[in-house]
Amino acid sequence: MAQLSSEFTVEGAYQYNHKNVGRWLWSHVARYRVLLLAGLILPVIDFIFFGLIPVYIGRAVDVVLTGEGALQNATLMVLAVSLTSGLAHLGGNLVSQTIAQHLAADAREELYRSLLGKSQIFHDRQRVGDIMARATEDVFQLSAFIVPGMLFATGTVLGIVVPLLYIALIEPAMLLVPVIFILGYIVAVKAYAARLLPVMRNQRSQYGKMNSVLEESISGIEVVKASTQEWFERIRFGRTARRFRDLFVHQGQIEARYLPLLMFGVALGLAFLHSLWLHQQGSISIAEIVAIMGLVNILRFPTFISIFSISLLQTGIAGAERILSIITADTEIDQNIGGHQATIKGTITFENVTYDFGDGKPVLADIKFSIEPGQTVAIVGQTGSGKSTLTQLVNRTYDVTSGRLLIDGMDVRDWNIASLRSQIANIEQDIFLFSRSIRDNVAFGMPDATTEMIEQAAKDAQAHEFIEGFSDGYDTKIGDRGVTLSGGQRQRIALARAFLADPRILILDDSTSAIDSATEDEIQKAIGRIQEGRTTLLITHRLSQIRWADLIVVLDSGRVVGIGSHEHLLKTSALYRRIFARYEVELPPLEVEVV
């Protein structure tokens, strides 16, 4: 199958078959051929010898009744076959458990690798809680699919085939009742599985929804508490949890109507009656009746265990479908391994760029302007005008819908994506920090950075002083998403991370909005130093930053409505004048541009 588009791939990674769930599962298990072979052979040995137990018990009975032969030998044979069966059973369980854990680990790794390779627009459509459910509970169900699911399924098949073979060797006529039972059993199990599978699929889907509600409530706990909406979230979660519970109740109702166990009871009685009738006809002996009834009784195991194996198998299949649907979901942006790689000089050109999020409603329309290397460009406009989206096209967070965006004269889609993004630093208003140490967060884009490099970047971002104020300094763990830090502290750590990366293109999306004026002045000096020789895209509402930009681009409803210097736009752009009217600066008379 052709490799799907991906922003991230691992060279030499094992390629699984994604054509359908069955082939995907088989391609995972088939990696471990030796274990798989052992996992198939050992259960066969187990049931061959397990089936011999009632055969040798029958022979022991014959010795007791006829007095011919050695009872001790018959007893030792029962012990020997029981021991062999037990050892094979133990080995089969061990091998199957090993395969199951390999499958779970490999599937989880493949899913995670796939998620890393998906585009931002893909992740924008997902619910984090549901993704987490797939990576945890659904993957766990894959393990249960093998052990005990497939182990039980194998036992079901062997638990039917082996006793029937032994019965046929003792007295073929005694196959009548067991064969009729097996035919009825197959029909009943097929109907049972058909009723159960939709319920198991709905269970896995509802679990993902329940997990999403939980994740959203916990992630937004500050908003929940500030709005005193605990009662509403409790009711909302309770509603999804009850739906999940109801599906388990439905599963139980289906399992309660499982007919094969009742059918087996009837078959056991009929088989005994048949054996007595054959004995009266002189066709079989008492010892053979004992052996045959022991073999018929083995059929109870596959009959009973099917109720569990089918549930486990179908839960595993439903989980596998959810995992595979994520893995095979196509992504809009490809890594382009053989694409252009070079040191970025910093020329950025928008050629009639239009972008929409797939709904046909342009967020940006017909954007045309150029940025020279080393220029600082301020992008301004009202909220929702498309400022952040425009900058996200530069590093291919999103791809243009039409038109072209060029960096150093090369379409960004022709660049190797790793080469492109490694030279662009983007600091957004909504800062994301990892729940790791401050050191790890600053050095995230450059893991091999020295302590001196990290501290210098922090000093440039005016973060060194408050970091040193913590008891553990740079080794301080900052909590989930950096919740232990103030907004200004998070922004300064993000700035330090960008400074350390030494980017060729720097994108600052309102990156100093949570910083006080005095600190901002110091940071602006550091930004001024790092901007030297680099192209900078600046989104901000602060006049002090905008007015010194080399070029200012004014956006309105996704279109460029003004471009030029601060003084030029104050004279020619009514929208730009409105944006800065609140600063109470003296505005020059508005000049109407003649196009």
Walk across the sheet containing 559-564 and list its strands: 424-427, 505-509, 535-539, 376-381, 551-556, 559-564
Length of the chain: 595
Q: Which single residue is written with the structure tokens 């050191």?
A: 439
| Ordered DSSP codes for 342-369 | ------EEEEEEEE-SSSS--SEEEEEE
Q: What pLDDT is recorded for position 65?
A: 87
Return all residues near 402 (Cβ < 8 A) that are at least 6 apart. Answer: 352, 353, 354
Count of C-beta atoms within a 10 Å radius of residue 423: 20
Beta bridge partners of 354: 402
- Here the tokens at position 466 are 């408050």
Backbone angles phi, psi at 31, to 5 degrees: -60, -25
**Cis, peptide link before residue 43, omega less than 30° from 0:** no
Residues with Cβ within 8 Å of residue 462, at least 6 apart in sequence = 492, 519, 522, 523, 526
Q: Write the DSSP string, 437-458.
A: BHHHHHTTT-TT--HHHHHHHH
For tokens 């003004």, name the residue: 562
pLDDT value at residue 164: 96
pTM for the model:
0.85
pLDDT mean values, one per 10 residues, the chain (595 residues) = 67 91 96 95 96 93 83 88 96 96 96 92 90 94 94 94 96 96 95 92 93 89 87 94 94 91 94 95 93 95 91 93 93 88 95 89 93 93 90 93 96 94 86 89 91 92 90 87 78 87 88 64 67 84 81 94 90 84 60 51
Contacts of 225 (CB under 8 A, 6+ apart): none
Dist. CA 326–CA 114, nearest whole Å: 8
Neighbours of 527 (CB within 10 A): 23
Q: Six-digit token pair at 163? A: 């006793």
Q: Which residues of 347-379 are buried (b: 16+ CB within 10 A; e: fewer)?
A: bbbbeebebbeeeeebbbbebeeebeebbbbbb
pLDDT at residue 517 in the model: 67
Domain annotation for the chain: domains and CATH numbers: 21-108+120-327 (1.20.1560.10), 336-423+505-523+534-565 (3.40.50.300), 430-502 (3.40.50.300)
Residue 300, token pair as written in the block? 């109870």
